[in-house]
A and B are shown apart, each in its own frame.
Chain A
Amino acid sequence: MRINRIAQKNKEEEKQVSVDLGLLDPIINKYKTKKGNMIPILQGAQTTFGYIPYEAFIKISDETGLKLSDMYGVATFYAQFRLNPVGKHIIKVCHGTACHVQNATAITEALREALNVEDGGTTDDNLFTLESVACLGCCSLAPVMMIGDDTFSKLKKADAVKVIKEIRISESN
């Protein structure tokens, strides 16, 4: 699996993250009676919280009758779903074929070193999450990475690290 999507329960309890589950009500009401609603509900929960908290699964299950096991199965199957909180900026480094041929591995390695996190991990200051993703569809501009809605193309190791530094600086101001 590309991203570690198994819930790290213990770590969670330590952090005592509390989320406002009330935010889920409109999503649940919208899809409750529709068939094939599981993925849209989970997508809605993730858009709301940035990930799908454990408590959200329970609430959705209670109110829609969807089985917890089914939901966990779906959430761990698809690359999109995250079960753990993520950093403010998600760095998606493309590892499609074209990017691989143009040495995307070096970009990920340089970022891992600069951020001091593993692939899929989040920095201690919760500012960045580093992810390797399959094709972003900008193959002619390889290698590519995406941070938020911004795409950075024809990258070199130093460029990628520079982008991170600039975000760090603008965040600390």
Chain B
Amino acid sequence: MGKTQVIVGLGSCGIAAGANKVYKKIEALKKAENLDFELKKTSCVGMCFKEPLVEIIDENGSYLYGEIDEKRAVEILEEHITNTNPVKDFIVKSDQFETIHKPYFEGQNKIALRHCGYIDPDNIEEYEAHDGYKAIKQIADNKTSQEQVIQTILDSGLRGRGGGGFPTGLKWKFANNNKADEKYIICNADEGDPGAFMDRSLLEGDPHAILEGMIIGAYAIGATSGVIYCRAEYPLAIKRMNTAIAQAKEKGYIGNDICGIKGFNLDIYVKEGAGAFVCGEETALIASIEGERGMPRKRPPFPAEKGLWQKPSNINNVETLANIPYIIFHGADSYNKYGTEKSKGTKVFALTGKIKNGGLVEVPMGTTIRDIIYNLGGGIQDDKEFKAVQLGGPSGGCIPKHLIDTEVDYEKINATGAIMGSGGMVVMDETTCMVDIARFFLDFTQKESCGKCTFCRIGTKRMLEILTRITEGEGKEGDIEKLEELAYQIKDSSLCGLGQTAPNPVLTTIKYFRHEYEAHIRDKKCPALSCKKLLTYEIDPDKCTGCTVCAIKCPVKAIDGVRKEAHFIRQDDCIKCGDCYSRCKFDAIKLS
């Protein structure tokens, strides 16, 4: 064991929580007090709920500290480094003793995320030291044929992690079969699903694994160029990817005769997206790289036949590619030993919403949703009642409480009406209104519809109008049926995945939470007390002390009353801003 190491997690989420300041503080302290340790950077380990994270590795073992601000950084440096006395209160993980976060780590099997939070993403040597670029070297040394590489991926059972779930090996086979002088391998890093950030985390945390995945894919299909199409909203990911490409070029992993394989030439560059959700769709993504409006086109011809610049192209998602080097290096069995019959391996999920331990988790396929939420995720915030989990973003659906024991597996998730998607899991509790959630997603897809197909362009707009009306208490009998009718029409008559799946959030919420829709329409009530226009604020005369705070602060002066006597709200004037509710110290304002 060498020098003691202090490692700060500098992913986008860590930085948002203040990790840069912590890093600078530690750097300054190290200098000022001449402390003897090596200060290093890494990316996100997935434990977003404890950011910023600082790991100290000394001769005894590793200690991961959570929620470290500048003040605590000073404390742990002094106690741990100077006095060699780990500060147990802030430790979230250690190989020396158990912490309360044990279930979060033990429930996981990290393959795609294997290096995230453990290596410095800006340092190619660290990646190489962790079996990095060994898969491509192995291919070169063993003179593995293209067909053998494809067969290994087929055997592993790996399916597209962007949401489609199409077998990756098969995709490569199609692209390999089409002969051409130029071929492209494209990495789809246009992670547009609100609520999913595993791709960002991978791009920031392990860029070389994605590059190696692309290099192996390029070898298998015979690609000559590679493009990483990345969202412009991820500046750090773009920066780290560009650094990684430059380093890989220097070491000869990108260029001519890669790893000594004669005639295997490849160039890779990053293409910045310009902000359009639909560009996650293959043909729209290609149009966008070509500099056009990102509008999908009819398939066939599939990109494997005629893709970028009319050349055979293969598009894989970030997470899919991150798995490739591991599978090639360790063999197909190392991957397909996890999972269910049809869904092999592991999947990364982004846990967000009303959950205690929000962050990234990677679990074997077949794990139940209950396990993910309650065991790894620690349960619901403030121990409220679990209501539903939204899976698959705007194309997905809501899985209700009675289906919480569903296993995560492409087919089983589809059977509920939701989709696996890219793996965003937004947890909702009793205070989330399901009609409002459906409205939220429709609002999103309606804005992001490219406008090419009439049903997607106008149909989503009409559905949004109906949903908005319902949440505002203007719903009518027959609205639910009209929503369903429009939903099926949009699904049937849209060209691409966006339109075909846009109604899913509405259909699943109607299927599982029809009573909430009916309460909005018939009783003009929002059971979750979330839709503003359907709320009523009232003052309980028994509890009101007449302190006048609410009356003074009411922005529309809708509260009347005499000092030291019970006040009341004039309902006709109330704008339902909730100001009185949050100000009352005596719990006298009731919400219904």
Which A residues are closer than 8 A to B by beta carbons?
1-2, 35-40, 42-43, 70, 73-74, 77-81, 95-102, 133-142, 144, 149, 151-153
B41 in contact (CB, < 8 A)? no
Q: How far is the CA of A35 from the CA of B311 in the complex (A)?
A: 14
Question: Within the complex, which residue of B17, B293, B393 is in contact with A141, where a contact is CB–CB below 8 Å?
Answer: B17
The answer to whether A140 touches B49, judged by C-beta atoms less than 8 angstroms apart, is: yes
A2 to chain B, nearest CB (A): 6
Known contacts A36-B290, A36-B291, A101-B426; decide if A140 and B274 are in contact (CB<8 Å): no
Q: How far is the CA of A172 from the CA of B296 in the complex (A)?
A: 48
Chain A residues with Cβ under 8 A from B428's Cβ? 101
The answer to whether A139 touches B350, judged by C-beta atoms less than 8 angstroms apart, is: yes
Chain A residues with Cβ under 8 A from B49's Cβ? 140
Chain B residues with Cβ under 8 A from A99's Cβ? 194
Output the residue of A73, A96, A140 with the most chain B CB within 10 A: A140
A-B contact pairs, 10 of them (CB 8 A): A36-B290, A43-B232, A77-B294, A77-B450, A78-B275, A97-B352, A134-B277, A135-B192, A136-B233, A138-B48
CB closest chain-A residue, reference B46: A140
CB closest chain-A residue, reference B198: A137
Known contacts A77-B276, A80-B232, A140-B359; decide if A151 and B192 are in contact (CB<8 Å): no
The answer to whether B192 touches A134, judged by C-beta atoms less than 8 angstroms apart, is: yes
The answer to whether B358 touches A139, judged by C-beta atoms less than 8 angstroms apart, is: yes
The answer to whether A140 touches B352, judged by C-beta atoms less than 8 angstroms apart, is: yes
The answer to whether B274 touches A79, judged by C-beta atoms less than 8 angstroms apart, is: yes
Which residues in window 291-340 of B have CB below 8 A to A? 291-294, 309
Output the residue of A36, A37, A42 with the most chain B CB within 10 A: A36
CB closest chain-A residue, reference B233: A136
Contact with A along B10-37 (1 / 0, CB 8 A): 0011011100000000000000000000
The answer to whether B351 touches A138, judged by C-beta atoms less than 8 angstroms apart, is: no
Question: Within the complex, which residue of A1, A37, A73, A142 is in contact with B352, where a contact is CB–CB below 8 Å?
Answer: A142
The answer to whether A138 touches B195, judged by C-beta atoms less than 8 angstroms apart, is: no
Which residues in window 178-197 of B have CB below 8 A to A? 191-197
Q: How far is the CA of A74 from the CA of B275 in the complex (A)?
A: 11
Chain B residues with Cβ under 8 A from A42's Cβ? 274
The answer to whether B275 touches A138, judged by C-beta atoms less than 8 angstroms apart, is: no
Chain B residues with Cβ under 8 A from A140's Cβ? 13, 48-49, 51, 350-352, 358-359
Which B residues are closer than 8 A to A by beta carbons?
12-13, 15-17, 48-49, 51, 191-197, 200, 232-235, 272-277, 288-294, 309, 350-354, 358-359, 390, 393, 424, 426, 428, 432, 437, 440-441, 444, 447-448, 450
The answer to whether A151 touches B16, judged by C-beta atoms less than 8 angstroms apart, is: yes
Known contacts A39-B288, A74-B291, A74-B292; decide if A96 and B351 are in contact (CB<8 Å): no
Chain B residues with Cβ under 8 A from A36's Cβ? 289-291
Q: How far is the CA of A42 from the CA of B274 in the complex (A)?
A: 10
The answer to whether B274 touches A101, judged by C-beta atoms less than 8 angstroms apart, is: no
B204 to chain A, nearest CB (A): 10
Q: How far is the CA of A126 from the CA of B234 in the complex (A)?
A: 26
The answer to whether B309 touches A35, judged by C-beta atoms less than 8 angstroms apart, is: yes
Known contacts A79-B275, A136-B233; decide if A141 and B194 are in contact (CB<8 Å): no
Chain B residues with Cβ under 8 A from A39's Cβ? 274, 288, 291
The answer to whether B191 touches A137, judged by C-beta atoms less than 8 angstroms apart, is: yes
The answer to whether A144 touches B16, judged by C-beta atoms less than 8 angstroms apart, is: yes
B202 to chain A, nearest CB (A): 12
Chain A residues with Cβ under 8 A from B275's Cβ? 78-80, 134
The answer to whether A98 touches B194, judged by C-beta atoms less than 8 angstroms apart, is: yes
The answer to whether A2 touches B447, judged by C-beta atoms less than 8 angstroms apart, is: yes
The answer to whether B232 touches A134, judged by C-beta atoms less than 8 angstroms apart, is: no
B287 to chain A, nearest CB (A): 10
Q: How far is the CA of A100 from the CA of B51 in the complex (A)?
A: 21
Chain B residues with Cβ under 8 A from A77's Cβ? 276, 293-294, 450
The answer to whether B352 touches A139, judged by C-beta atoms less than 8 angstroms apart, is: yes
A81 to chain B, nearest CB (A): 7
Question: Within the complex, which residue of B197, B277, B441 is in contact with A137, where a contact is CB–CB below 8 Å?
Answer: B197
Output the residue of A73, A97, A134 with the most chain B CB within 10 A: A97
The answer to whether A97 touches B276, judged by C-beta atoms less than 8 angstroms apart, is: no
CB closest chain-B residue, reference A42: B274
Output the residue of B272, B274, B358, B441 with the most chain A CB within 10 A: B274
B149 to chain A, nearest CB (A): 29
The answer to whether A141 touches B200, judged by C-beta atoms less than 8 angstroms apart, is: no
B152 to chain A, nearest CB (A): 32
A31 to chain B, nearest CB (A): 10
The answer to whether B440 touches A153, judged by C-beta atoms less than 8 angstroms apart, is: no
Chain B residues with Cβ under 8 A from A101's Cβ? 352-354, 426, 428, 432, 437
Question: Within the complex, which residue of B17, B273, B390, B447 is in contact with A97, where a contact is CB–CB below 8 Å?
Answer: B390
Question: Within the complex, which residue of A2, A74, A80, A149 is in contact with B293, where a contact is CB–CB below 8 Å?
Answer: A74
Known contacts A140-B13, A140-B359; decide if A134 and B194 are in contact (CB<8 Å): yes
Chain A residues with Cβ under 8 A from B51's Cβ? 140-141
Chain B residues with Cβ under 8 A from A80's Cβ? 232, 273-275
The answer to whether A137 touches B12, judged by C-beta atoms less than 8 angstroms apart, is: yes
Q: How far is the CA of A39 from the CA of B235 in the complex (A)?
A: 17
The answer to whether A138 touches B16, judged by C-beta atoms less than 8 angstroms apart, is: yes
The answer to whether B13 touches A138, judged by C-beta atoms less than 8 angstroms apart, is: yes
Q: How far is the CA of A22 from the CA of B195 in the complex (A)?
A: 42
